[in-house]
Structure 1
Amino acid sequence: MPEGGVIANDETVDQPQGRASHSLRHESAELHVAGAAAYIDDLPEPKGVLHLAPGLSTVARGRILSMDLDAVRAAPGVVRVLAAADIPGENDVSPVGKHDEPLLTSDDVSFCGQLLFVVVGETRAQARSAARFAKIEYEREPPVLDIAQAKAAGGDLVWRSLTMRRGDVEKGLNEAPRRLSGEITMGGQEHFYLEGQAAMAIPGEDGEMRVWSSTQHPTETQVMITHVLDLPSALVTVEVRRMGGGFGGKETQANAVACLAALAASLTGRPAKMRLDRDDDMMSTGKRHDFHIEYDVGFDDDGRIRAVDMTLAARCGWSADLSGPVTDRALFHADNAYYYPDVRLRSLPLRTNTQSNTAYRGFGGPQGIGGAERVIEEIAYATGLDPLEVRLRNVYASGTPRDVTPYHMQVEDSIAADIMKSLAKDSEYFERKQAARRFNADSRFIRRGLALTPVKFGIAFTATHYNQAGALVHIYTDGSVQVNHGGCEMGQGLHTKMTQVVMRELALDASRVRITATNTGKVPNTSATAASSGADLNGMAVLDAVTRIKTRLVAFAAEKWKVAEDAVTFGADGVSVGDRTIPFSELVKAAYFARVSLSSSGFYKTPKIHWDQDTGRGRPFLYFAYGAACSEVAVDLLTGEMRIERVDILHDAGRSLNPAIDIGQVEGAFVQGAGWLTTEELVWDSSGRLRTHAPSTYKIPGCSDRPRVFNVRLLDEAPNREETIFRSKAVGEPPFVHGFSVLHAISDALASIDDYRTCPRLDAPATPETILRCVARLRQAAGSRVASAPADG
Structure 2
Amino acid sequence: MNKQTEVFMKPAPQDSNTDNSSAWAEVGQSHPHESAILHVLGEATYTDDIPEAQGTLHAALGMSQKAHARIRSINFDAVRSARGVVAVFTAADIPGTNDCGPIIHDDPILADGLVEYVGQPIFAVIADTHDNARRAVRKVVVDYDELPAILTPQAAHAAKSYVLPPMRLARGDAQRAFETAPHRASGQLYVGGQEQFYLEGQISYAIPKEQNGMLVLCSTQHPTEMQHVVAHALGVHSHNIVVECRRMGGGFGGKESQSALWAAVAAIAAARLKRPVKLRADRDDDMMVTGKRHCFYYDYEVGYDDAGRIVAAKVDMVSRAGFSADLSAPVATRAVCHFDNTYYLSDVEIKASCGKTNTQSNTAFRGFGGPQGAIAIEYIVDEIARNLGRDALDIRKLNFYGRNDEEGRNVTQYGQKIVDNVIHELVAELESTSEYRQRRAAVEAFNAGSPVLKKGLALTPVKFGIAFNVTHFNQAGALVHVYTDGSVLVNHGGTEMGQGINTKVAQVVAHELGIPLELVRVSATDTSKVANTSATAASTGADLNGKAAQDAAHTIRQRLAEFFAKLHGGDAKAVVFAAGAVYLGEHSMAFGDLAQKAYLSRVQLWSDGFYATPGLHWDPKTMTGRPFSYFAYGASVSEVVVDTFTGEWRLLRADALYDAGQSLNPALDIGQVEGAFIQGMGWLTTEELWWNKDGKLMTHAPSTYKIPGISDCPQDFRVKLFKNRNVEDSIHRSKAVGEPPLLLPFSVFFAIRDAVASVGGKRFNPPLNAPATSEAILKSVEAVRAMSRAA
Task: Give the TM bin, normalised by the shorter chain.
Answer: over 0.9
RMSD in angstroms over aligned alpha carbons? 1.0
Report runs of 4+ in structure 1 exceeding 6 Å deviation.
Answer: none
- CA offset at residue 142 of structure 1? 2.3
1:535 to 514, 529, 542: 542
Give the structure 1 partner of residue 5 of structure 2: none
| Letter aligned with residue 322 of structure 1 | L
Tell me, in whole angstroms, the C-alpha distance in 2 between the residues paired with 1:535 and 1:512.
20
Tell me, in whole angstroms, the C-alpha distance in 2 between the residues paired with 1:466 and 1:767.
37
- CA offset at residue 75 of structure 1? 1.2
1:47 to 44, 54, 59: 54
- Contiguous gaps of at least 5 residues in structure 2: 1-22
Which SS does the other structure have where 2:211 is aligned?
Answer: helix
Normalising by structure 2, we get a TM-score of 0.96
- CA offset at residue 759 of structure 1? 1.3
1:421-440 map, 5 Å: 421-440=428-447
- CA offset at residue 182 of structure 1? 1.0
- CA offset at residue 17 of structure 1? 7.2
Please tell me whether the aligned partners of residues 573 and 581 of structure 1 are also in contact (alpha carbons under 8 angstroms): no
Give the structure 1 partner of residue 348 of structure 2: 343
- CA offset at residue 381 of structure 1? 0.9
| Letter aligned with residue 267 of structure 1 | R
Give the structure 1 partner of residue 146 of structure 2: 140
1:184 to 160, 183, 189: 189
Please tell me whether the aligned partners of residues 17 and 503 of structure 1 are also in contact (alpha carbons under 8 angstroms): no
| Letter aligned with residue 160 of structure 1 | P
Give the structure 1 partner of residue 229 of structure 2: 224
Identity of aligned residues (%): 52
Tell me, in whole angstroms, the C-alpha distance in 2 between the residues paired with 1:682 and 1:671.
18
Please tell me whether the aligned partners of residues 18 and 509 of structure 1 are also in contact (alpha carbons under 8 angstroms): no
The one-character-per-residue Cα deviations of 1:178-219 (angstroms, maximum 9, x if unpaired) are 111111110000000000000101101100100100000000
Which SS does the other structure have where 2:611 is aligned?
Answer: strand
- CA offset at residue 566 of structure 1? 2.4
Tell me, in whole angstroms, the C-alpha distance in 2 between the residues paired with 1:66 and 1:553.
69
Tell me, in whole angstroms, the C-alpha distance in 2 between the residues paired with 1:775 and 1:567.
70
Tell me, in whole angstroms, the C-alpha distance in 1 between the residues paired with 2:692 and 2:189.
22
Tell me, in whole angstroms, the C-alpha distance in 2 between the residues paired with 1:737 and 1:165.
24
Tell me, in whole angstroms, the C-alpha distance in 1 between the residues paired with 2:54 and 2:161.
49
1:463 to 451, 470, 481: 470
The one-character-per-residue Cα deviations of 1:194-248 (angstroms, maximum 9, x if unpaired) are 0000010110110010010000000000000000000101110000000000000
| Letter aligned with residue 215 of structure 1 | T
Please tell me whether the aligned partners of residues 513 and 554 of structure 2 are also in contact (alpha carbons under 8 angstroms): no
Give the structure 2 partner of residue 382 of structure 1: 387
Give the structure 1 partner of residue 603 of structure 2: 596
Please tell me whether the aligned partners of residues 516 and 580 of structure 2 are also in contact (alpha carbons under 8 angstroms): no
Tell me, in whole angstroms, the C-alpha distance in 1 between the residues paired with 2:500 and 2:197.
19
Please tell me whether the aligned partners of residues 157 and 318 of structure 2 are also in contact (alpha carbons under 8 angstroms): no
Tell me, in whole angstroms, the C-alpha distance in 2 between the residues paired with 1:498 and 1:566.
24
Tell me, in whole angstroms, the C-alpha distance in 1 between the residues paired with 2:185 and 2:442.
30
1:64 aligned onto 2:71 = yes
| Letter aligned with residue 579 of structure 2 | A
2:295 to 290, 295, 310: 290
Tell me, in whole angstroms, the C-alpha distance in 2 between the residues paired with 1:566 and 1:550.
11
1:708 to 687, 695, 715: 715
Which SS does the other structure have where 1:621 is aligned?
Answer: coil
Give the structure 2 partner of residue 735 of structure 1: 741
1:76-87 map, 5 Å: 76-87=83-94
The one-character-per-residue Cα deviations of 1:272-322 (angstroms, maximum 9, x if unpaired) are 101001000000000000001111111001000101111111011000000
Give the structure 1 partner of residue 136 of structure 2: 130
1:485-496 map, 5 Å: 485-496=492-503
Tell me, in whole angstroms, the C-alpha distance in 2 between the residues paired with 1:417 and 1:680.
32
Please tell me whether the aligned partners of residues 18 and 510 of structure 1 are also in contact (alpha carbons under 8 angstroms): no
Give the structure 2 partner of residue 791 of structure 1: none
Tell me, in whole angstroms, the C-alpha distance in 2 between the residues paired with 1:307 and 1:418.
26
Which SS does the other structure have where 2:745 is aligned?
Answer: helix
Give the structure 1 partner of residue 553 of structure 2: 546
- CA offset at residue 722 of structure 1? 0.1
Give the structure 2 partner of residue 240 of structure 1: 245
Tell me, in whole angstroms, the C-alpha distance in 1 between the residues paired with 2:260 and 2:660.
32
Please tell me whether the aligned partners of residues 292 and 364 of structure 2 are also in contact (alpha carbons under 8 angstroms): yes
- CA offset at residue 18 of structure 1? 4.4
Tell me, in whole angstroms, the C-alpha distance in 2 between the residues paired with 1:81 and 1:407.
51
1:416 to 420, 423, 428: 423
1:209 to 209, 214, 234: 214
Structure 1 residues 760 and 547: CA distance shift in structure 2, 3 A:
same
The one-character-per-residue Cα deviations of 1:746-765 (angstroms, maximum 9, x if unpaired) are 01111111111111131100
- CA offset at residue 380 of structure 1? 0.3
Which region of structure 1 is more displaced relative to structure 2, 191-200 or 155-164? Answer: 155-164
1:165 aligned onto 2:203 = no
2:483 to 476, 479, 483: 476
Which SS does the other structure have where 2:37 is aligned?
Answer: helix
2:772 to 729, 742, 766: 766
| Letter aligned with residue 549 of structure 2 | V
Give the structure 1 partner of residue 335 of structure 2: 330
Please tell me whether the aligned partners of residues 494 and 534 of structure 1 are also in contact (alpha carbons under 8 angstroms): yes
2:584 to 557, 563, 577: 577
Which SS does the other structure have where 1:206 is aligned?
Answer: coil
Which SS does the other structure have where 1:379 is aligned?
Answer: helix
Which SS does the other structure have where 1:418 is aligned?
Answer: helix
The one-character-per-residue Cα deviations of 1:85-134 (angstroms, maximum 9, x if unpaired) are 000000000100x2211101121110000000000001111111111110
| Letter aligned with residue 31 of structure 1 | L
- CA offset at residue 577 of structure 1? 2.4
Give the structure 1 partner of residue 689 of structure 2: 682
Tell me, in whole angstroms, the C-alpha distance in 2 between the residues paired with 1:180 and 1:698.
35
Tell me, in whole angstroms, the C-alpha distance in 1 between the residues paired with 2:578 and 2:99.
53
Give the structure 1 partner of residue 306 of structure 2: 301
Tell me, in whole angstroms, the C-alpha distance in 2 between the residues paired with 1:159 and 1:247.
24
Which SS does the other structure have where 2:443 is aligned?
Answer: helix
- CA offset at residue 573 of structure 1? 5.2
Give the structure 2 partner of residue 452 of structure 1: 459
Which SS does the other structure have where 1:143 is aligned?
Answer: coil
Give the structure 2 partner of residue 200 of structure 1: 205
Please tell me whether the aligned partners of residues 253 and 366 of structure 2 are also in contact (alpha carbons under 8 angstroms): yes
Give the structure 1 partner of residue 12 of structure 2: none
Tell me, in whole angstroms, the C-alpha distance in 2 between the residues paired with 1:106 and 1:402.
53
Give the structure 1 partner of residue 399 of structure 2: 394
1:35 to 25, 42, 47: 42
The one-character-per-residue Cα deviations of 1:1-30 (angstroms, maximum 9, x if unpaired) are xxxxxxxxxxxxxxx974200101100000
Structure 1 residues 567 and 413: CA distance shift in structure 2, 3 A:
closer
1:278 to 283, 290, 294: 283
Give the structure 1 partner of residue 14 of structure 2: none
- Contiguous gaps of at least 5 residues in structure 1: 1-15, 786-793
Please tell me whether the aligned partners of residues 26 and 516 of structure 2 are also in contact (alpha carbons under 8 angstroms): no
The one-character-per-residue Cα deviations of 1:672-702 (angstroms, maximum 9, x if unpaired) are 0000000000000000000000000000000
The one-character-per-residue Cα deviations of 1:426-475 (angstroms, maximum 9, x if unpaired) are 10111101111110111111000000000000000001110000000100
Give the structure 2 partner of residue 4 of structure 1: none
- CA offset at residue 411 of structure 1? 1.1
Which SS does the other structure have where 2:746 is aligned?
Answer: helix
- CA offset at residue 57 of structure 1? 0.3
- CA offset at residue 511 of structure 1? 1.8
The one-character-per-residue Cα deviations of 1:630-657 (angstroms, maximum 9, x if unpaired) are 0000000011001000000010000000
